[in-house]
Homo-oligomer: A and B are copies of this chain.
Amino acid sequence: MAVSARRGQPLTIQEIYTAVLRMVGEGGVEGLSMRKLAAELDVNPMSLYHHVESKDALLRGACTAVAQGLALPPDDGTPWQEQLRALAHAYRSIALSHPALWSYVNSHPDLVEQEEGMWVVFNRVLVAAGVPAAELLRIRTVLYTFVSGLLTAEAVGLLAELDPAGDAETTFDAAVDLILDALEARAT
């Protein structure tokens, strides 16, 4: 190339993530390549490595960037049932905002564990629900995987295939209700 850059501006990580999310949204994670991404950004493939360590780091970064948007329910005095519902819906909305990325998250446990704010709120709500400390970790984990499994099914299209007549959101609500019922039954 004649001069220094093909484009006016230097690359931004934001700019890179935006392109990643768009491309992943269109072609899935396996449709993303460093070379196509670079082409999309009108840049030499190797320029990307100045902003990102590897393709995996890039995807992980995109995931945590998306996770920033998680709207955790505040610790006002609202009943735990309501707060759990709010947490579940907030999580669903993040997960389904980029369905293709969700499967990537699911197979990278460190990304899930890393979602500290969510775990704190989850703890608080379960304690309010009367879950004893000794069972907190196990119940929290089980309930998380339940919700996570349902979201995966929705993200991947399995929900629609197994229950074509059902509406995904009401199915989600029913599932959360089921979890609430179980917690209430356990409390008594």
Contact = CB atoms under 8 A, between A and B. Distances in A.
- By CB atoms of chain B within 10 A, which of A147, A153, A175 has the most? A153
Interface string A147-174: 1111011001111011101100001001
A175 B108 CA distance: 22
A158 B103 contact: no
A166 B149 contact: no
Interface stretch (A37-45, A85-93, A124-132, A135-143): A135-143
A109 B161 contact: yes
State the oligomeric state as a number of copies: 2
Contacts of A161: 109-110, 113
A2 interface: no
Nearest to A106: B152
Given A107-B156, A178-B182, A182-B185, 20 more contacts: A108-B156, A109-B153, A109-B156, A109-B158, A110-B161, A112-B158, A112-B162, A137-B162, A137-B163, A140-B162, A141-B162, A142-B174, A144-B153, A145-B146, A145-B150, A145-B152, A146-B149, A146-B150, A149-B149, A181-B182
